[in-house]
Amino acid sequence: MAKQETQGERNWYAIHTYAGYENAVLRNLKQRIESLGMQEKIFNVIVPIEKKVKIKGGKRVEVEEKIYPGYVLVDMVVTDDSWYVVRNTPRVTGFVGAGVNPVPLRKDEVDYLFKKMDADTIKHNIDLAIDETVMIVDGPFKELEGKVNAIDQERGKVKVLVSMFGRETPVELDFLQVKKI
């Protein structure tokens, strides 16, 4: 079944789930681990999420977004028993790997994910591109059109070139102050 050369090693594994059921799989798997006494082989289960800023109803809203929709991460030692418990959890379609042999995530992948999850800085979800035409919807330049010149993801700012008095003038705006045309 799930025999592996690295049997006995504790690693993080990705399991594929039905889309939208990641949290249900998390709850079910934690319950199964406890009821089947697998705490010695399955240590942790997480749904990787990150915080982002989005606009809802014209307001800045902080939302949690899944980093990898359709996947749940499991920290475990793969044995026939632990593989069976995870694999037969409702709404789990399988481990990421070749056939029935799960492939552990590399340390750099795990470190990257945890860094992304623990980030204090919230990522702004700016869906704009350089040279894209936008309409300014707020502030002193309201209802003027311009072209995106620069995007600062970290600060949530965009620099827009606005035509004033026959020349293009750069204006720095919050990404909430512009919308695509």
Domains of the chain with bracketed CATH = 10-124 (3.30.70.940), 133-180 (2.30.30.30)
14 within 8 A of 96, measured Cβ to Cβ: yes
CB 76 within 8 A of CB 86: yes
Over residues 80-133, the pLDDT tens digits come to 999 999 999 999 999 998 777 899 999 999 999 998 888 765 666 677 889 999
pTM given for the model: 0.67
10 φ, ψ (degrees, to nearest 5): -90, 125
